[in-house]
Amino acid sequence: HARKWHQMRPVPTVARAYPLVGHALLLKADGKEYFQQIIQYSEEYRYMPLLKLWMGPVPMVVLYKAENVEVILTSSKQIDKSSMYKFLEPWLGQGLLTSTGNKWRTRRKMLTPAFHFTILEDFLDVMNEQADILVNKLEKHVNQEAFNCCFYITLCALDIICETAMGKNIGAQNNGDSDYVRAVYRMSDMILRRIKMPWLWLDLWYLMLKEGREHKRSLKILHTFTDNVIAERVRQMKSPEECKDRHERDSRPTKNKRRAFLDLLLNAAGDDGNKLSRENIREEVDTFMFEGHDTTAAAINWSLYLLGSYPEVQKKVDMELDEVFGKSEGPATLEDLKKLRYLECVIKESLRLFPPVPLFARTLNEDCEVAGYKISKGTEAVILAYALHRDPRYFPDPEEFQPERFLPENMQGRHPYAYVPFSAGPRNCIGQKFAIIEEKTILSCILRRFWVECNQKREELGLTGELILRPYNGIWIKLKKRNFSES
């Protein structure tokens, strides 16, 4: 520890660190205030190439310059997720998000085929079906007061990930509520609080506290949900006759392909040649259930907020939708989605301004040099995507919503690591194509039916950077029936 302290002394820092607890006492406990504090630091010290924080005895360097982010993300050696991700392990185990080394490499290789483009195409009809349910649910808000759209979108995304990747239709949108979604939100908040407070790191002590007991209850809800999903699929695989009638009633030939991800896990062999254990399978199912719905839902919500706030941009999207679909409200095909180039720019610009994962981290497994500073082995490298995406060198007027930034001619010469909403390098997001297809499908379905208005100011959102970047106060929009003659 003394060696690290001495070696890291030259790295710029925000304030003097206290013994044992480091900067932990300076950081706000509230998720909303904490995120604003981190953003304030990154703006105040933008002239610095990086920042150092001590989280207890653990050194952290915060990176928000493209050239410094590149050093970490392009390395084939620096692929170990931050040790702080251990607080996710009671929930997600050592799945693709949290695992390291050979276990991660084996799982990544095993799971990549489940996200092949041809399989994603087979999922499109489910996305269309659930998007159609969503717009029917939203119909009651037409010409009414502003309402919070976040939960509607989240339940739709949850239905999509369950049916496409897990082969189970849970009907979350029709239930109108979800203990699972609420447990995800609460768990995210508790994990971030624990990361920031070294005195909560010890499991024995944490579980004695009221919050530790709540953590345990939330964990039970999350694991029970995924256990039920796995158990039902196992039962179906063991007793195909039970499902024969249902399959015969379903004329869609791609029904079995939709279950590719969970089937792949149930049939996959581990390093020892044996099938993955139930615990191994649950690790990946929990990981994909969380990452496959929460990040995508956040991205769609932010897109709706920005489109509702910038009517001139929404008008351009409308014109493109008219060119591709005419007056049709039917399901989108893959060819339709490919033609929605401006909508894709809107999604990318939304991901720039409000990246669903606003920061992520790696543990450095060897000494390295960043921006001329020697960074010790064992340091946590925190990539602050929210600040990185606002570098005026690559994004002039960074707070402005300008989808044209992502037209091919405007991307030339931009640093490849100035924009990393899905991370980059060897540990980039395996599901990014899935996410873009889902976002295009849902947004095109909503925007063909409705005109969106939003009067919330940025400062009214109450950004909270837990595991996922959320608006603490929700996203409140108004809906009107789409007027084709005006678009």
Q: How far apart are CA 339 and CA 360, in angstroms?
A: 32
Structure tokens at 263: 């089937």
For residues 159 and 130, is the Cβ–Cβ distance under 8 A?
yes
Per-position DSSP letters for 131-163, written without gaps between them = HHHHHHHHGGGBTS--EE-HHHHHHHHHHHHHH
Task: Please count the other Cβ atoms lying within 10 Å of the Cβ belonging to residue 224.
Answer: 13
Q: How far apart are CA 476 and CA 297, in angstroms?
A: 15
Query: What is the largest distance, in Å, between two alpha-carbon atoms of the chain?
Result: 70
Q: How far apart are CA 487 and CA 482, in angstroms?
A: 8
Is 429 annotated to bind ligand? Answer: yes
For residues 359 and 465, is the Cβ–Cβ distance under 8 A?
yes
Q: How far apart are CA 330 and CA 285, in angstroms?
A: 32
Strand ranges inside 20-166, DSSP E: 50-55, 58-63, 147-148
For residues 380 and 363, is the Cβ–Cβ distance under 8 A?
yes
- Burial of 168: CB neighbours in 10 Å, binned 0-12, 13-18, 19+: middle
Per-position DSSP letters for 345-405, written without gaps between them = HHHHHHHHHS-SS-EEEEE-SS-EEETTEEE-TT-EEEEEHHHHTT-TTTSSSTTS--GGG
Q: How far apart are CA 466 and CA 11, in angstroms?
A: 26
Q: Return the axis-axis angle of helices 432-449 and 341-353, rounded to nearest 10°.
A: 110
For residues 276 and 149, is the Cβ–Cβ distance under 8 A?
no
- Tell me which residue has tokens 């064992």: 378
Structure tokens at 77: 């050696």
Beta-sheet pairing, 58-63 with 147-148 = unpaired
Q: How far apart are CA 379 and CA 371, in angstroms?
A: 15
Structure tokens at 16: 């003097």
Task: Please give the annotated binding residues for heme, written as ranges.
Answer: 429
Task: Please give the annotated binding residues, written as ranges.
Answer: 429
